[in-house]
Structure 1
Amino acid sequence: MTSSSKVYARKLEGKVAVITGSTDGIGLAIAKRLAEDGAHVVVSSRRQENVDRAVETLTSENLDVSGMVCHIGNAEHRKHLLATTAERHGGIDILIQNAAVNPYVGPILETTESQWEKVFHVNVHSTFFFTKEAIPYMEATGGGSILYMASGTAYVPFELLGAYGVSKTALLGLTKAVAQQLAEKNIRVNCLVPGIIKTRFANVITDNDTLHDLGLKATPMKRFGEPSECAGAASFLCSDDASFITGETVIVAEVYI
């Protein structure tokens, strides 16, 4: 029984999950759900104070969680996170790549070269190489599950988030490509596409009167989502309930596409 009085099947009992960008918003909600479902969850963020706060919050609910600083754009940080997790917890079964950046808000053709490079270095380049770096650990446990986090902007370009949206479109293709090769290693790769979710990251839409109204008009449920509404889908895709699902993208309350 969790603090929210919901009963979970603990379908991830015994699994070890690493989640990037998981000290706030959607990432934190997913970390909470996976822990409720029985996994030991390693949360991570670029800042130690954010990691400490998230770990304190989740462990106060009697959830099995630890944390570590990791800037996914830094290869040494990624390798340290994976190696330390495997050493401390006996392996890695799940990798959810939620961390992303968006250094520029505005028309895409006004994106500078440095802004473009930063978006693609973190959101695409680092996601790909983190996948490669995690494979040996998952092979050692007999398989695993990798989940990429894309965005509704991957399907429907949003004028003020142009470069970010293109980087998320790349993840749709990466999901398909990587899943084909990793299937033979019993490693599944899927992608989750949140709609407009009420997070600090989405403030550019939810806190702007004009964009707020446009966003609601484009959302079938006529409301913005909560981070927790992405968590169940993430847990499902990483569990044995989805053992025959790979290379797929699940859209959570997306805008019309």
Structure 2
Amino acid sequence: MNNLFDLTGKVALVTGASRGIGESIAKTLAAYGAHVLVSSRKIEGCQAVVDQIKEAGGSAEAFACHIGEIEQVDSLYGHIESAHGRLDILVNNAAANPYFGHILETDLSAYTKTVDVNIRGYFFMSTKGANLMKQNGGGAIVNVASVNGVIPGDLQGIYSITKAAVISMTKAFAKECASFNIRVNALLPGATDTKFAATLVKNPKILEQAMQHVPMRRVAEPDEMAGTVLYLVSNASSYTTGTAINVDGGYLIG
């Protein structure tokens, strides 16, 4: 049997890939043969990941893009189309969570930033990516959502709302893009040891309280998210679309 996880010849774009979960996903896709565009807001962090991928024998390039800025998204896709002429894999991982506090005290700035990146950014990254995939016979999109999209996180109201929207967006794109051989699925990470989740992970009191609701009683490492994404973008999941996979140590079991 052929290797179901082989991504040789595929062009993959991973946003928010300069660190954390995105970095692990980018390195994993490259290890299985994909040429990976490592994207995030700052080129320096992206280039550092690209250098590590190349040192390990993989193929990658860095491109700075803030997905909350439509002009930058257009520039990124213009580069992909001119340099590669195709996109086979899109992983929407970049996200914003600028506010940690009571929902009633959410100000307009925090609201706008969170929605612009987590909803508008994912939406237009997906429409542009899917249109490019459509021209080349199909592809796979994975949206990194969150368990907070199912059960709102404490003091993370607007972030949780946007992640619920990402889950719904995943299903809508999956339904309408299936005829183009484009599969769209979501990853729902639980508590993961990243800089993004530092408010939770680095606060012993909050962490202890949170772990009471996680049957595995520990925080995930970023690398523990990458295998699920590899499955969702590979031929191993060729009949899987519109699903949301929880990788949460059992948190959503209830």
Calculate the TM-score normalised by the size of structure 2.
Answer: 0.95
User: In the alignment, which of 188, 191, 194 is matched to residue 193 of structure 1?
Assistant: 188
2:189 counterpart of 1:178: no
Q: Displacement of 1:10 after TM fit? A: 5.3
Q: Tell me the distance in 2 between the aligned counterparts of 1:81 and 1:124.
A: 18
Q: Displacement of 1:114 after TM fit? A: 2.1
Q: Deviations over 1:69-92 (max 9, x none)?
A: 001011121122122123223410
User: In the alignment, which of 20, 28, 39 is matched to residue 25 of structure 1?
Assistant: 20
Q: Tell me the distance in 1 between the aligned counterparts of 2:39 and 2:78.
A: 14
Q: Is the 8 A contact 2:5 2:231 kept in 1?
A: no
Shifted more, 66-75 versus 211-220: the winner is: 211-220
Q: Deviations over 1:138-180 (max 9, x none)?
A: 0121001111010111122222211101110111111111111
2:221 counterpart of 1:240: no
The alignment yields a C-alpha RMSD, in angstroms, of 1.4
1:147 — aligned with what?
Answer: 142
Q: What 5-or-longer segments of structure 2 have no aligned partner?
A: none
Q: Tell me the distance in 2 between the aligned counterparts of 1:30 and 1:215.
A: 25
Q: How do residues 9-20 of structure 1 correspond to structure 2 at under 5 angstroms?
A: 11-20=6-15
Q: Displacement of 1:46 after TM fit? A: 0.6
Q: What 5-or-longer segments of structure 1 have no aligned partner?
A: 1-7
Q: Is the 8 A contact 1:16 1:39 kept in 2?
A: yes
Q: Is the 8 A contact 1:15 1:38 kept in 2?
A: yes
Letter in 2 for 1:253: D
Q: Displacement of 1:115 after TM fit? A: 1.2
1:167 — aligned with what?
Answer: 162
Identity rate of aligned residues, in percent? 39
Letter in 2 for 1:130: M
Count, aligned residues: 250
Letter in 1 for 2:116: H
Q: Specify the SS of the correspondent of 1:11.
A: coil
